[in-house]
Chains A and B, each alone.
Chain A
Amino acid sequence: MKTSMFTNLARFCALAALVSFAPALQASGGKIVIKAGRVITQAGADIQNGVIVIENGRISAVGPDTKAPWDADVLEHPELVAFPGYVEAHSNRGMDRPNENIEVAPFLDVRDSIDPISFYFEDSLRAGVTTINIQQGNSCVIGGQGMIVKPFGITIEQMAVRTQSGIKVVAGLRPGASRATQAQALRRAFGDLRRYLEKLVQDTRDGKDSARREALFQGKDMDKDENKKGRAMEGSATWKVKDLEIVPRGEIDDKQEPLLRMIEGKLPVFLYCDSATSVGLALEVIRENGLAATTTLVLEGDSWKAADQIAAANLPVILSPNLVYTEREPVTGKEIQTFVPGVFDKKNVRFALQSLTPSAQSLWFQAATCVAWGLERKKALDAVTRTPAEILKLGKRVGSLEAGKDGNVLLLSGDPLAVKTSVQYVVLEGNLVYDRSKDVRVKHLLEGVEQNNAAPTGAQATDDGDDDHKKVPDEIQKKHDAGEKKDEPKKDEDKHDHGGKKD
């Protein structure tokens, strides 16, 4: 299609921009010192004229009088504010497509779908997001495994922070299915796993070796200990498969193995609920399959109405980007607005925020909106740094500027929540990966400066994962796109069928 050439050129430009950010400071043994007029550590009081020392990718010291090693590169900006990189607890952007057609597909991995030069990562970096948990989208029953990345790198390996960071489970309504069907499919997925394992045990007892032959055919090294040995079923599910230890682990099919890992509490779960109704289903699934310790709920719609139950189950939540939920009072027709984070804060439920858009309304904007609606500034900032870090089990690595944590530091032109503030520099694991003055696309966005191969004016394909060059038939594209839209509630049939509408 006509626009694909331009878009490809734009993508190459973005790529080139990325490459141009290539850390110029690596040569000095990985030591960098950042001096800022104000250091917001997110771990105690702000430090005036603070110093952050990063060695080998980790912060080795933060303080007002910290001595800088003589051989370190120094980034000295008394006019700027240092802040920890934001942590995006859950996102399904940055992939070529967020969903697959298969309902239960735990064997999929977003690693195979992430597009490193997607504009999404560039936008995230510009907005100061340095850790992103990419998960599959919501049009599935059990989706693939996710991955935590940093938005910098040309290859996925370079971007990786942690692979197989969690699995996506959907209790919410999927387009094309009713709630009853979705619930049934979800329960059946676990039921299928159980039946599969029981059959495997029985087959092993009967001396059948088809599973072993299949494993070998799939290329597994059955001599390795981890494949050769069997293990009793672990975890706290209400059901257990007896004698699972007689089955060598390697014989468990790759398609079922991630589910078993999830049941055994070894694979974190991100459970999506689109409404309060689906929260009930979610809690039931969690209870039956022993997932309480490893699950984070990803909420949408009016799920907040079930906040009491969520609080009782002691689960952390990731909130919908729409922080203010609006509904109409049935009798008077007046709008009722509910500030959702406030509901969870009152019930002491740990919550993380999602960005609304990759750059203009990124995590800083969401935290600022929370402050506007009365949430304490500290809690708002935690919800975009420390709490998502903890939820992602990276609490020891990101979310604040403390010794021992990753050297992910932002240098901001002002207070993080002020509207005029922009990210001037980003240091990622000790490397300077972003310099706003060299950001080619910012100039374009801000001033409309025409680039030869920048994103041109005119109708464009979407930001990330554009499909033009893939030549997907329209009908299939539409089906996928439809998967991302929420169903609109049906309007009541009007009384005057032959006449007008109700007031």
Chain B
Amino acid sequence: MLTAILTACALLSGPGATPAKGEPRVLVVRAEKLLLGDGTTLDAGAVLIEDGRIRAFGKDVDVPAGAGVITHPGWVSAGLVALHAYAGAPEELRDSSRPVLDGKVAWAFDPAHSDFADAVAAGITTLVLVPQRNALSGGSSAVVKTAGARVLTEQAQLSLSFSAAALAPNRYPTSFGSAMAELEQRFEKPQGAFARAKSGELPVLFEADSREDVQRVVAFAKRLKLRGAVYGADWIGELAESVNEAHLAAIFAPFDPGEERRTIQSVLKLAKSGTAFGFGLDSPWKSPESLRLSAALCLREGLDRKLAWRSLSSQAAEIAGVGERVGRIEKGHDADLVLWSGDPLDLKSRVDAVFVDGQRVYEAKKP
């Protein structure tokens, strides 16, 4: 019991904790190219890290005495942010016993699970763990670091499922109509996470599959003035206008190499209309590599480079509600960096090393 409490404390400990591994407290990382949060690059830039945070970055960065220096012959960027994953506990997150569950994913995952190591090796430093969509509300999602077992946000989003997966023939609700009615009722005199969502404090993660699901989500969000993001509808871009009217963002399921062109076009439509979007990871069912693949496919179809980069990093972080902490090389942000062999949007590039909270958590083996 005591161990559990201590572990919990360790998990929930804030930034600035004493580095557990052997990296110097103060570190300067020099890069051939620095990839910044807005998608622009800085030649021969450097990042100054102290106590797990970024203290400064730029072309000329003073190297304090005693600081470690790493010169990387490649690109350095913020760690990737992947939305919508089940890493570390997929079966713990599926519960359709009741229509509305009050759980928090933060209580359910195993930070030592190999899923996280896989994510790190692909350059992903922040993950949003979500409940599965088999209940009307599976609970609340959590934002976690992929190394160091840190939970950034214990209750990041309220998950509401507008997908047919939330319905079952042998328990209430069995139909879309009653599902909507039930949710409306829950928001009438809301409690807990529902109250926080109604007040605008807590964003909502809307699970959807098809365009008609998105239509229902948009109508619902507008009616109850909820904010958040919609996950799972590949062709949501075709409804970009109404998604914007409801001030919602979109999260795409990770793409396969042979992804339907219409889906990629849907991303471009969203980009064109200025809607915020990011990509989910769907781990462990999809490889963490699919995150970069998704962005690369969109690039190939004509997506603006900067937008593509932001969708993997800063914009995704904003959608997850941690845009002030991670996702960009920015003063005060967590020192989550990835050292690449080249441009991360180029699939030929490899992950050479990964830092999370100023600690080197991954080093690629030399071929």
The answer to whether any beta carbons of A and B sit under 8 Å apart in the complex is yes
Residues of chain A having any CB pair with chain B under 8 Å: 331, 495-503
Task: Check B234 against A499 for contact (C-beta < 8 Å).
Answer: no
In the bound complex, how far is the Cα of B232 from the Cα of A502, in angstroms?
9
Question: Cβ of B210 and Cβ of A499 under 8 Å apart?
Answer: no
Contact among B90, B210, B211 for A498, CB-based, below 8 A: B90
B165 and A500 within 8 A (CB) = yes
Q: Tell whether B331 is near chain A: CB-to-CB under 8 Å.
A: no
In the bound complex, do residue B133 and residue A499 qualify as a contact, i.e. CB atoms below 8 Å apart?
yes
B-side contacts of A331, CB under 8 Å: 261-262
Q: Whole-angstrom distance from the CB of A499 to the nearest CB of chain B?
A: 5
Shortest Cβ distance from A333 into B: residue: B262
User: Which of chain A's residues have a CB closer than 8 A to the CB of B164?
Assistant: 500-501
Is A500 a contact partner of B163 (Cβ separation < 8 A)?
yes
B234 CB contacts on chain A under 8 angstroms: 502-503
A496 and B209 in contact, given A503-B233, A503-B234, A503-B235 (Cβ under 8 angstroms): yes
Contact A499 B90 (CB under 8 A): no
Q: Which residues of A contact B207 (CB under 8 A)?
A: 499-500
B-to-A contact residues, CB < 8 Å? 86, 90, 94, 132-133, 163-165, 207-211, 213, 232-235, 253, 256, 261-262, 282, 285
CA distance A499 to B234 in the complex (A): 13
For the complex, what is the distance from the CA of A496 to the CA of B207, rounded to whole Å?
Answer: 12
Q: Would you call A496 and B261 a contact (CB within 8 A)? A: no
Query: Across the interface, do B209 and A502 meet the contact criterion of CB distance under 8 Å?
Result: yes
- Residue in B closest to A495 when the chains form the complex, CB atoms: B253
User: Which residue of chain A has the shortest Cβ distance to B132 in the bound complex?
Assistant: A498
Q: Are B261 and A499 in contact (CB under 8 A)?
A: no
Please tell me if the beta carbons of A497 and B133 are within 8 angstroms of each other in the complex: no
Q: Across the interface, do A501 and B209 meet the contact criterion of CB distance under 8 Å?
A: yes
Residues of A within 8 A of B133 (CB): 499-500
Q: Contact at B209–A500, with CB atoms within 8 Å?
A: yes
Chief secondary structure at chain B's binding surface: loop
Query: Provided the pairs A503-B233, A503-B234 are in contact, do residues A498 and B285 lie with their beta carbons within 8 angstroms?
Result: yes
Closest Cβ of chain A: how far from B231's Cβ, in Å?
A: 9
Residues of A within 8 A of B261 (CB): 331
Query: In whole Å, how far is B302's beta carbon from the nearest beta carbon of chain A?
Result: 17
Q: By the criterion CB–CB under 8 Å, are A503 and B211 in contact? A: yes
Asked if B132 and A499 sit within 8 Å, CB to CB, the answer is yes
Min CB gap A334→B, angstroms:
13
Most buried by B among A331, A499, A502: A499
25 A-B residue pairs with CB within 8 Å:
A331-B261, A331-B262, A495-B256, A496-B165, A497-B285, A498-B86, A498-B90, A498-B132, A499-B132, A499-B163, A499-B209, A500-B133, A500-B163, A500-B164, A500-B165, A500-B207, A500-B208, A500-B210, A500-B213, A501-B164, A502-B209, A502-B210, A503-B209, A503-B210, A503-B234
List the B residue with the shortest CB-CB distance to A497. Answer: B285
CB-based contact A496/B253 at 8 Å:
yes
CA–CA, A331 and B282, complex, Å? 25
Asked if A501 meets B210 with Cβ closer than 8 Å, knowing A331-B261, A331-B262, A496-B232, the reply is yes
Nearest 4 CB-CB pairings of A with B: A500-B209, A500-B163, A503-B210, A500-B165
* Min C-beta distance of B215 to chain A, whole Å: 12
State how many angstroms separate the Cβ of A493 from the closest Cβ of chain B.
Answer: 12
Give CA–CA (A498, B84) in the complex, Å: 13
> B285 — which chain A residues lie within 8 A by C-beta?
497-498
Residues on B with beta carbons closer than 8 Å to the beta carbon of A496: 165, 209, 232, 253, 282
Could you tell me the distance in whole angstroms from the C-beta of B83 to the nearest C-beta in chain A?
14
**CB of B173 to closest CB in A, whole Å:** 15
CA of A396 to CA of B285, assembled, Å:
69
Min CB–CB distance A497 → chain B (angstroms):
6
| Interchain nearest-CB distance for A451 vs B (Å) | 43
A498 to B233, CA, bound (A): 14
A500 near B94 (CB under 8 angstroms)? no
CA distance A497 to B235 in the complex (A): 18
Interface centre among B94, B211, B262 (most CB of A within 10 A): B262
Closest-by-CB residue of A relative to B94 is A498
CB distance from B175 to the nearest CB of A (A): 15
Most buried by B among A496, A500, A502: A500
Distance between Cα atoms of A502 and B234 in the complex (Å): 8
User: In the docked arrangement, what's the CA distance between A495 and B232, Å?
Assistant: 10
